[in-house]
Amino acid sequence: MIVTSIQNPDLDDDSLVENVELELLLQAVYLKYGYDFREYSRAHIKRRVLHYIANKRLPNISSLQHELLIEKKCFDELLQELSINVTEMFRGPGFYKSIREKVAGLLKTYPYIKIWHAGCSTGEEVYSMAILLKEEGLYDRTQIYATDFNPRVVKSAREATFPLKYIKEYTSNYQKSGGQESFSDYYRATNSSVIFDRSLTKNMVFAEHNLVTDRVFAEVNMIISRNVLIYFNRHLQNKVLSLFDESLSTGGFLGLGNKETISFSDIAPKYKIIDAREKIYKKSHE
């Protein structure tokens, strides 16, 4: 059991009680359902939980704990609230441009490539990588593993269908990332959605995997996990980075979000920086 000090002399009594309730809620979620949010950023978790109880018109966090212990539907709803699903096609185009210019050429020397998208959310960035690999002549010899702890978003990612209203932004991102073709060639539009070409899914495996509680997913040549670590406390970040290190072959690449780093972690001495701005690293030795 993880014990976290929640005392803070600057907090009033109501805030202290709220913090105690939150600790008990997270422990209840772990013991009842096996999802461990106890080392997530407290500010993030508290904000999400308070938003949920306000929408449900519950009086306090303790009442939420009671509800989710007796009603799985309540937990399923809270899980969606706690799941981080902020994503888009070619999100942060500079990252993909750097992959094209600084990593793709090295990947071309590999006979077979395995890539793990850890925390894939609804899949937009997975399909972005598939398009990039296809344009670089690499996709036919690549296996992409896309995982998330939330089964609902994994199902959504597998369907390769995204809202039409975002396609203008996605097209702009694609072009800024160094896209070489007409982006519209990769999808067909319906009244309100775009459905991406099924040829992009042929080498994808979607699965549930929890970075907090599960072990190594696969041995891979590249791991992409952008803007996931920022929601964890420092101890959990280090733990997850060690998991990535165990999964990554020597000479493999690690891509993080632009607000994330490995500099503080136990694995840092093993890696060299490929792109400091875009947070792309190469594992140089065991």
Per-residue model confidence (pLDDT) at position 13: 57
pLDDT band for position 54 (cuts 50, 70, 90): very high
Per-residue model confidence (pLDDT) at position 1: 43
Q: Which pairing describes strands 220-225 and 142-148: parallel, antiparallel, or unpaired?
A: unpaired
pLDDT digits (tens, 9 = 90+) for 3-47: 444 455 555 556 788 899 999 999 999 999 999 999 999 999 999
Read off the pLDDT of each residue in 224-242 and give the average, rounded to a whole number.
95
pLDDT at 254 over 90: yes
pLDDT at 178 over 60: yes
pLDDT digits (tens, 9 = 90+) for 76-116: 999 989 887 779 999 999 999 999 999 999 999 999 999 99
pLDDT at 282 over 70: yes
pLDDT digits (tens, 9 = 90+) for 126-160: 999 999 999 999 999 999 999 999 999 999 999 99
Domain with CATH 3.40.50.150 in the chain: 93-283
Per-residue model confidence (pLDDT) at position 5: 47
- Round the average pLDDT of the chain to a whole number and report it: 92
pLDDT digits (tens, 9 = 90+) for 180-231: 999 999 999 998 999 999 999 999 999 999 999 998 888 999 999 999 999 9
Read off the pLDDT of each residue in 245-271 and give the average, rounded to a whole number.
96
Per-residue model confidence (pLDDT) at position 16: 83
**Hey, what CATH topology would domain 93-283 get?**
Rossmann fold (3.40.50)
